[in-house]
Amino acid sequence: MLLWQRTKPYLTPLIPNDSALQKLFILGSLCLDSYSVLVGSFFSLFVPQLCYGNGGQNNPPHPCTMMEIISTADSYTQGAIALNSVTALAFVGTFAYEFYRENWIKNHFVIDEHLPNDHISNNLDKFPLLNEKLKRINSHHGRMISVVLHLSNVNILSSFFLLRNDDNGFQTYTTFATNIFIIYTRMFRSINISSTSDTKVFVKSVFSIPTEYNLVKPSDAEPTQESGV
């Protein structure tokens, strides 16, 4: 105890506060989600397939390596890889916007345990600029999710027709199904928050536990501060 008291002034600045830990956790979740969806979107590269070498299907088949898939890709496979890439980039762009959205809400709203949860939705009209910015952010978020959803559907169908020609049996279809599950689970988390954000201020819904903020920050509640939103 005595040692801690003596070293506390020197160690305290090195210990991240709750806000820093929270941002670090959100950033870590963003990276993890991006990685899992990137792998999940590239069905053409990460789902097991069979290759036949230079002799075509007359040669004994063997599991493809990623370099074999890329180097021997026909026009359909090249198109599938391109669609995989577009879908993955759309996911990453949506995640980046969700990261921006959550930080923006955290900077302008707080939680007051003494107020009901619907307090914010009943009082946002008093802050027209803040309300307009929130609606605009939620609208952009919803459109981005819709684009990603449609891209993912097309990506899954095109990849299925590619994989069924050179499937590696049960391993191909279980991996394909697992990747689909990862993608749709992540998308529906975003869809859930987007569908409720018109009437409630949700934050951390995408990267952690959903949190409902019910009060505008005092600095944004001041008339002199509102114009800067």
Taking only the tens place, the pLDDT of each residue in 39-69 is: 889 999 999 998 876 655 566 788 888 888 8
pLDDT of the residue at 223: 46
Residue 5 lies in a domain: no
Q: Is the pLDDT of residue 202 over 60?
A: yes
Lowest model confidence (mean pLDDT) among 47-56, 179-188, 205-214: 205-214
24-33, 45-54, 103-112, range with the lowest pLDDT: 24-33
What are the φ and ψ backbone dihedral angles of 64, each rounded to 5 degrees?
Answer: -75, 145
**Res 204 pLDDT > 50:** no
111 falls within a domain:
yes
Q: Return the pLDDT at 198.
A: 62
In a domain, 10, yes or no: no
Range of the domain at 99: 23-226
- Residue 4 falls within a domain, yes or no? no
**Which of the pair, 127 or 151, is modelled with greater confidence?**
151
Q: Tell me if 179 is assigned to some domain.
A: yes
What's the confidence (pLDDT) of residue 10? 46
Number of domains in the chain: 1
Amino acid 174: pLDDT: 93
Say how far apart CA 83 and CA 229 lie, in whole Å. Answer: 38
Is the pLDDT reported for residue 213 higher than 60? Answer: yes
Q: What is the predicted pLDDT for the residue at 108? A: 85
Tell which wins on pLDDT, 131 or 202. Answer: 131
In a domain, 9, yes or no: no
Identify the residue with better confidence: 158 or 191: 158
Whether 3 maps to a domain, the answer reads: no
Torsion of CA 181, 44, 154, 30, to 10 degrees: 50
Task: Kindly tell me if the per-residue pLDDT of 31 is higher than 50.
Answer: yes
Is residue 15 assigned to a domain?
Answer: no
- Planar angle of CA 193, 20, 8, nearest 5 degrees: 150
Q: Is 147 left (phi over 0), alpha (psi -120 to 50) or beta?
A: alpha
Q: Retrieve residue 101's tokens.
A: 């959205």
Give the number of other CB atoms < 10 A from CB of residue 37: 24
